Structure 1
Amino acid sequence: MLAVFEKAIGNPPEELKLPSMGLETMKSRQDIVEIVRSLWPDSTVYSLANGNSMASSHENESPSQPRSIVVTDDIFCIITGALENKTELRRHYGLSRQATDAMVIVEAYKVLRDRAPYPSDQVIKDLEGKFAFILFDARSGKLFIAREREGCIELHWGITGDMDPWFAAMISIL
């Protein structure tokens, strides 16, 4: 899974500021998406406003770390891995038995977003399993990225040549 966003959506933390040496060889947002498309032709790529993108592929998907994508109410969510307590969470949020892991995460986000400005850890504190996800709320321009506590699913992040942030899980070429 991959997400590449403009700085206005997600400013890279100071820790990601790289020395100017080598920046000329860094890829642009569009270049990174094209690399993913060429390496994984079956990828689903969402081209969002302002050159922002999200992508996922089911190629070489592991049964223990499946990938799921959902787009609902202008909220895009891609997850790698699995929620172990999905049945309990479906019941808690009033979702059907067919609700995927990504649907559960979107519902948890929407419930907490709409009730009050809760801290982001409130969205993930009840999620159990091995997972990493990227959620983008296009209406509000909010980007929410998380993984489980143990770090079983690697979540990589960096910056493009234009200093825009990118995030990837299960993609080792970036």
Structure 2
Amino acid sequence: MLAVFEKSVSKPAKELSLPVGGGNRSEEIIEVFRSWRSDGTFYHLSSGNFLALSHQGENPAIPRSVVVIDDIFCIFSGALHNTCEMRRHYGLSRQATEAMIIVEAYKVLRDRAPYPPDQVVKDLQGKFAFILFDSKAPTLFLARDRDGGVQLYWGTAGDGSLVCSDDPNVISAACDKHYTPFPPGCIFINRRGLMSFDHPLNKVRGFMKEDDGRVIFKVDPYTRIPTIPRTGSAVNLANAV
């Protein structure tokens, strides 16, 4: 899977302190992915943003799927162990896929949930990574399971766009050396930033690795976030997404 969002939409987290200048521009990334993944399906959004999905080389234990509901696009990789429970929780049919569950969870969080985004993802059990984009808001929502069972990388392209992919070869071609693994057990919302869903009151910081100069992200046990809005749908709508 692949997603590219120009910087005014994605508002790359300041924690993603990778230099801009290497890698390709967004339109070049599309051509690279298309040349490598002939079965790829592209979803072109506004302002040059796009999502792409390919089943080439897919691990049967970590399938990829995509769904588009009410102008919300979600690419999901992996599998949930509590799918039935999540369907009942959100009032979905037995045919609802993992990607559909994620979209519904996001809609509840956006519109009426009295709980924060970390709780939404914490309830998911399994190995997964997902990229969700609400084109109306616009809101970008990324997450990866706490064990890092599914690969997800993010980085900056040559034009400053945020690039996300589960394929290290694809993101390396797109971003040169300006990418890093998305931290396990974390979520990113463009209006809020990067946070841990197991330790939502502690800041997630980027640290430079000495061996290769890349940035890795870890929960800082000594730095607490002052406040996290947790009640009131109007507050959640303005602050959580």
- When the two structures are superposed, what TM-score results if normalisation uses the length of structure 1? 0.92
Match of 1:14, SS?
Answer: coil
1:13: how far off?
A: 2.4
Read off the aligned partner of 1:109 and give its amino acid letter.
Y
* Residue 9 (structure 2) pairs with residue 3 (structure 1): no
Are 2:24 and 1:37 equivalent residues in the alignment?
no
Q: Which residue of structure 2 lines up, in the alignment, with residue 77 of structure 1? A: 74
Deviation at 1:116, TM superposition (A): 4.6
1:91 Cα deviation (Å)?
Answer: 1.1
46-55 vs 10-19, which deviates more? 10-19
Which residue does 2:12 correspond to in 1?
A: 12
Greater C-alpha radius of gyration = 2
What residue is the counterpart of 1:86 in the other structure? 83
1:140 to 113, 137, 142: 137
Aligned partner of 1:152 in structure 2 is 149
TM-score (norm 2): 0.67
Q: What SS does structure 2 have at the residue aligned with 1:9?
A: helix
Judge conservation of contact 2:18–2:155 (CA < 8 Å) in 1.
no
Q: What secondary structure sits across from 1:30 in the alignment?
A: helix
2:131 maps to 1:165: no
Q: Does 2:99 match 1:102?
A: yes
**Retained in 2: the 8 A contact 1:45–1:56?**
yes
Partner-residue secondary structure (3-state), 1:33: helix
Q: Aligned partners of 2:125 and 2:106: how far apart in 1?
A: 15
1:55-107 CA deviation, whole Å, 9 max, x = no partner? 11111111110001000000000011011100111111111111111001101
1:54 is the counterpart of 2:51: yes
- Are residues 114 and 162 of structure 1, via their aligned partners in 2, closer, same or farther at CA, if it must alter by over 3 Å? same
Q: Separation in 2 of the partners of 1:117 and 1:135?
A: 21
Amino acid at match of 2:51: M
User: Do the aligned partners of 1:134 and 1:144 also contact (CA within 8 Å) in 2?
Assistant: yes
Runs of 4 or more, structure 1, over 6 Å off, are none
Structure 2 stretches lacking a partner, 5+ long: 172-241
Q: How many residues align?
A: 171
Q: What SS does structure 1 have at the residue aligned with 2:170?
A: coil
Distance across 2 between alignment mates of 1:42 and 1:15:
34
CA 1:41–1:156 in 2, change beyond 3 Å: closer, same or farther? Answer: same
CA deviation vs aligned residue, 1:26-69 (integer Å, no higher than 9, x gap):
20011112111110011111000000000111111111100010
Higher RCO, Cα 8 Å, sep 6+: 1
Superposed CA RMSD? 1.5
Where does the alignment leave 5 or more consecutive residues of structure 1 unmatched? none
Contact 1:11/1:164 (8 A) holds in 2: no
Q: Which amino acid aligns with 1:41?
A: S
- Alignment equivalent of 2:125, drawn from 125, 128, 147: 128
Cα offset for 1:158? 0.5
Match of 1:28 in 2: 25
Q: What is the distance in 2 between the residues matched to 1:81 and 1:111?
A: 22
Q: Deviations over 1:95-143 (max 9, x none)?
A: 1111111001101111121115753213211111000000000110000
